[in-house]
Structure 1
Amino acid sequence: MSVRPNQDVAAALGVLLADSYILALKTQNYHWNVVGSDFVQLHTLFGDQYEALSGAIDEVAERIRALGFPAPASFGEFAERSSLKSTAGAPAARDMITALRDDNLAAAKSAYAVIKAAEAVGDDSSADLATGRVTEHEKAAWMLSALLG
């Protein structure tokens, strides 16, 4: 089936892109600023997670472009679209873990919205991309939850 560009899919991908960008920025902040007895473990985990998000951001943006739409690419556009809230400062390590767990679950929800929009128009490529993002965000949330006990 040939897929036509679809504004609903591109819009849902734009939300996922914004969520991914805000999450990557927050994760990088926490990677830089975590302190405490679990520093090495958390510094490494947060670093791995934000590096993975960087690749995902590019993949989502390129899919939006492949559909024929401009990818949002400014802090203002990301803040406008994202279901996540950017944070400043360095909360306690446990609060960082909780925030990142919750944000990964929210990003997974945004990816599910892409799947729904893509399936409605037979866009298997966008649905497949979003399915991969659900898997990664839910895995990250599980790992973070495990740290909380």
Structure 2
Amino acid sequence: MDIGISKKDREKIAEGLSHLLADSFTLYLKTHNFHWNVKGPMFNTLHVMFMDQYTELWNALDLIAERIRALGVAAPGTYREFAKLTVIQESEGVPTATEMIKQLVAGQEAVTKTARGIFPLVDKAGDEPTADLLTQRMQIHEKNAWMLRSLLED
């Protein structure tokens, strides 16, 4: 494979992207769970917002995994692998709507930090396609975190 990025750098970038994939999948699952189980006065607003967010996350999983594959590395794809790679904690039971929002803000911020953490290596390697993917992911997660966070303000 000769795409202008060394094998070592491709493997390191793919490792970072594997963490991003695991965080994204875990946040997808948590958001979908909250979509199913939210209740209270903001039910409709949250139900729809969570659906929009989990749908976007679901579509992003393919983009991230395909970038890992384009770098010549196998993408993780099992719960066991994702559990080892993610920083996002699973939720116990069914939290209140406010607690769901707080957990999803933390999840969106965690995915943003994971994406941002890959940038130094991506920049050093001159991997513009991955930089573009990371930039797009961070914009989406920062916006989602802001929208969720705004629901917690009086």
Same structural fold, with TM-score higher than 0.5 when normalized by the shorter chain: yes
Asked if residue 3 in structure 1 is aligned to residue 11 in structure 2, the reply is: no
8 Å CA contact retained: 1:15, 1:81: yes
Corresponding residue number in structure 2 for 1:119: 123
The separation in 1 between residues aligned to 2:26 and 2:60, in whole angstroms, is 12
Task: Give 2:33's match in structure 1, choosing from 29, 39, 49.
Answer: 29
Q: Could you list the per-position Cα deviations for residues 55-110 of structure 1 after superposition, in whole angstroms to 9, with x for gaps in the alignment? A: 11110000000000000000010000001112242100000000000110010000
8 Å CA contact retained: 1:115, 1:131: no
The separation in 2 between residues aligned to 1:21 and 1:136, in whole angstroms, is 15
1:1-149 matches, within 5 Å, as 2-5=4-7, 6-149=10-153
- Per-residue deviation at 1:2? 2.7
Q: Could you list the per-position Cα deviations for residues 96-142 of structure 1 after superposition, in whole angstroms to 9, with x for gaps in the alignment? A: 00000011001000010222221121101111101111101100000
Q: How many aligned positions are there?
A: 149
The separation in 2 between residues aligned to 1:87 and 1:103, in whole angstroms, is 11
Query: What TM-score does the superposition give when structure 2 sets the normalisation length?
Result: 0.93
Query: What TM-score does the superposition give when structure 1 sets the normalisation length?
Result: 0.96
Counterpart AA for 1:135? Q
- Structure 2: gaps of 5 or more residues: none
User: Percent identity of the aligned residues?
Assistant: 44
8 Å CA contact retained: 1:20, 1:53: yes
The separation in 1 between residues aligned to 2:15 and 2:63, in whole angstroms, is 15
Counterpart AA for 1:101? V
SS of the aligned residue for 1:99 comes to helix
SS of the aligned residue for 1:84 comes to coil
Please tell me the root mean square deviation across aligned C-alpha atoms, in Å. Answer: 1.1
- Structure 1: gaps of 5 or more residues: none
SS of the aligned residue for 1:125 comes to helix
- Per-residue deviation at 1:22? 0.2
